[in-house]
Amino acid sequence: MKKTFKALKFIGFLLFVLVAIIACDKDYNSIESDVIGLKSFTTDNSQVPIASYNKKLNSLKINNLNASLLGVFNDPAYGQTTASIITQMTPTVYSPNFGTNPVIDSVVLTIPYYNRITGIDNDNTVYTIQDSLYGSAAIKLSIYQNNYFLRDFNPNEDLNVTQNYYSYASGTINSTDNFAINEGGAINFDTQKGALVYEEDSLVFSSNAIVLKTIAADGTETFERKTPALRDTLNPAFWKTLIIDKQDDAVLSNANNFYNYFRGLYFKAEAKNNDGSMILLDFAGSGSNITIYYSHDSSVEGADRLTDSYVLNFTGNRLNTFINNYNLVSLENGDSTNGDEKLYLKGTEGSMAVVDLFTGLMEYTDQDGVTSNIPALDAFKKTYRKLDKTGNYLPKVNGSYPLKRLINEAQLVIYEDENIALPATSSDKYPDPKDYHKYDRIYAYDLKNNIPLTDYSFDPTSNSTDAYNSRYVHLGQRITDDNGENAKYKIRITEYLNSILLKDSTNTKIGLVLSTNVNYVSNSPILNSDDVVTQVPSAAIITPRGTVLYGSNENVPESKRMSLELYFTKENSEN
């Protein structure tokens, strides 16, 4: 009875997904109605040959990502990554009038952390930043004036082609300096740094709300609470010379003049005792800025001085640089023919996996009972499409090939390496180190066209506010047994394969990356790539943690080997 109940629940879930798919695609409904219901059918499953292998990543576009990493992260399976930021700043007002005898009262840096509300305590909102924080130890943060001009447009390309900057992250080049690279060569931002604007020798990223106290003229105190942020005061003398003293100067009159005059800031992160933490920051958010608070004389004789502020936002070009000291694993390009035993998925210019479906030859028995080895993709099509008496495909009906087998479910099943290194100690986010990879998500994409797979748009579970619980039919969440072990992922590619069968869509290689936000599908190109991988999902670049998976190589135990499993319905009359 229990098995029957479980089967009914599984069928119910499949019907839910099927209804959602049919609702999105009327053509799918009309085509398959010619297959189902007219004859007696049975269900079955099979596997098809695949090859999965590693692709080492270099020179990824790192400017103007939707978020930026800052800090130091020690990945227990890979090694240490240090992330720094170079950013332009943009005034909110041009040609400002600071008044007579302006004097700076304070200069405040504010960059809110990504956070979410966890509750209320004594009528105060409680926040957490754990979803965007990696590690808990202190780092050293130094902020310098940047003297390198970040161009908007590439002078070597046609008019209005954006200038891109790419990662140059290998710690073997230089383990202390931050680099980027473009068509002109490498850029060392440590040789381009100017005055030291700010320094904190022991910075800890905190979930505590920012509490601001205001004292009125009568001594009354009021308090304002703001979301957790990197917030501190800066040296007024630097900003007086840079901004206030330039009133009526052309350098403050427009964006181009300002970008050339003040080329931005360099946020340089460094480890403390070879440890640290890393956080994801929203520099482009409305709350991220440097605000100069100042006072000036009133035009009314004898009146009190007037107060005002001047705001600089973190807009314009922004680069996220990385230094990778991967001393625990060597990342290399893999074996595209035989596949690799282990697959290394790592962000911040690390590594990804390539999956090649229908590789090599596959045994096929034709309608005359003759068995031969033919290309695997051809064998797949001939097995699932209806054929005429000569073994050729029947003509298309309404633009689609008739099928004798209907794929109900196609899953790329991927197992996690159970020997993957885990943190030695627990943390607030992972009290049990075995939960360290609990929230990992694998994102799959079409390498030829650099777009999500077809199943992504068919997935009815899109969630714009909770990325972990978004698109989990297509990009399945990490699954473990009752003991929290034998972790695996299931990537649903049913519609991708049905498009090949029905529409003769091109079978392309599939890229796999680790992602903390499967809703973020923008891509970052690779500089001068002549490989099948020309772009990488931008979300993977700003995902600092890595994982290790089992590949498709025959040396991997069959119970752990990556596989493509097909569940299908077929006619009972099929030979």
446 vs 92, 304, 464, 512, CA distance in Å?
A: 40, 65, 22, 9
Give the separation between CA 169 and CA 177, rounded to whole angstroms: 10
Residue where a domain stops, chosen among 278, 298, 325? 325
pLDDT in tens, 389-405: 999 999 999 999 999 99
pLDDT band at 221 (very low <50, low <70, confident <90, very high): confident
State the Cα–Cα distance between residues 567 and 45, nearest whole angstrom.
4
Q: Is the pLDDT of residue 24 over 70?
A: no
Instruction: Count helices and strands (H / E) in the chain.
Output: 8, 35
Mean pLDDT for 556-571 is 93
Grade residue 569 by pLDDT with cuts at 50, 70 and 90: very high
Q: How far apart (Å, rounded) are the C-alpha atoms in residues 544 and 422?
A: 15
Higher pLDDT, residue 161 or 71: 71
144 burial (CB, 10 Å; 0-12 / 13-18 / 19+) is: buried
Q: How far apart are CA 45 and CA 408, in angstroms?
A: 10
Q: Which tens digit of pLDDT belongs to each residue from 179-216?
A: 999 999 999 999 999 999 999 999 999 999 999 888 88
18 has pLDDT over 60:
no
- For residue 163 the two structure tokens come to 């200038």
Contact indicator for 309, 291 with CB cutoff of 8 Å: yes
**DSSP assignment letter at 275:** B
pLDDT > 70 fraction of the chain, expressed in percent and rounded: 92
Nearest CA among 428, 390, 419 for reference residue 207 = 428
In angstroms, the CA 49 to CA 51 distance is 7
SS (H, E, C) 360-400: CEEEEECCCCCEEEEEHHHHHHHHHECECCCCCECCCECCE
511 & 525 share domain: yes
Single-letter amino acid code for the residue at 563: S
* Among 92-96, 219-223, 288-292, 476-480, the least confident range: 219-223
Same domain, 303 and 393: no
pLDDT one-digit tens code per residue, 528-558: 999 999 999 999 999 999 999 999 999 999 9
What is the residue whose two structure tokens read 């089992």? 550
Q: How far apart are CA 44 and CA 47, in angstroms?
A: 11
Domain assignment of residue 345, yes or no: yes
**Same domain, yes or no: 459 and 473:** yes
Q: Are residues 344 and 391 in the same domain?
A: yes
Q: What confidence score (pLDDT) does residue 430 get?
A: 87
Q: Which pLDDT value is given to residue 125?
A: 93
Residue 66 included in any domain: no
Same domain, 316 and 335: no
Statement: residue 31 has pLDDT above 60: no
Same domain, 210 and 154: yes
Look over the chain and give the mean of its residue pLDDT values, rounded to a whole number.
Answer: 91
In a domain, 426, yes or no: yes
pLDDT classification of 498: cutoffs 50, 70, 90: very high
pLDDT, one tens digit per residue, over 116-144 is 999 999 989 999 999 999 999 999 999 99
Q: Give the model's pLDDT for residue 209.
A: 93
5 in any annotated domain: no
Structure tokens that stand for 141 in this block = 């943060």
pTM tops 0.85 = yes
With b for 16 or more beta-carbon neighbours within 10 A and e for fewer, the 529-540 pattern comes to: eeeebebbbbbb
At residue 435, what are phi and psi to the nearest 5 degrees?
-90, 5
Residues 360 and 307 in one domain: no
**Burial class of residue 435, CB neighbours in 10 A (0-12, 13-18, 19+):** middle
Burial degree of 188 (CB within 10 A; 0-12, 13-18, 19+):
middle
Range of the domain at 522: 44-57+330-571
Structure tokens at 271: 């480890």
Query: pLDDT value at position 286?
Result: 85
Query: What pLDDT, on a 0 to 100 scale, did the predictor assign at position 172?
Result: 82
Q: Considering the domain boundaries, does residue 271 fall inside one?
A: yes
Say yes or no: 215 and 267 in one domain. Answer: yes
Beta-bridge partner residues of 84: 321
Whether the CB-CB separation of 538 and 66 falls below 8 Å is answered with yes
Answer with the one of 264, 299, 325 that is the final residue of a domain. Answer: 325
Q: Which of 276, 298, 325 is the last residue of a domain?
A: 325
Same domain, 335 and 319: no
Query: What count of residues does the chain have?
Result: 575
What's the pLDDT score for residue 45? Answer: 74
Residues 368 and 234 in one domain: no
- Compute the average pLDDT of residues 292-312: 95
Per-residue pLDDT at 283: 93
Residue 43 has pLDDT above 80, yes or no: no
Instruction: Kindly state whether residues 295 and 443 are assigned to the same domain.
Output: no
Residue 284 · residue 164 · CB < 8 Å: no
Could you give the number of structural domains in the chain?
Answer: 2
Please state the rounded mean pLDDT for residues 140-165.
93
Amino acid identity of 424? A
Question: How confident is the model over 53-77, as a mean pLDDT?
Answer: 97
pLDDT of residue 160: 84
Tokens describing residue 423: 């943190």
Token digits for 187?
A: 């850029």
| Residue 93 near residue 201, CB atoms below 8 Å | no
Between 232 and 27, whose confidence is greater?
Answer: 232
CB 412 within 8 A of CB 398: no
3-state DSSP helix/strand/coil % of the chain, to nearest 5: 15, 40, 45
pLDDT tens digit sequence for 430-461? 889 989 999 999 999 999 999 999 999 999 99
- What is the percent of the chain where pLDDT is above 90? 81
Q: What is the pLDDT of residue 9?
A: 38
Mode of pairing for the β-strands spanning 100-112 and 229-234 = antiparallel
Same domain as 526, residue 377? yes
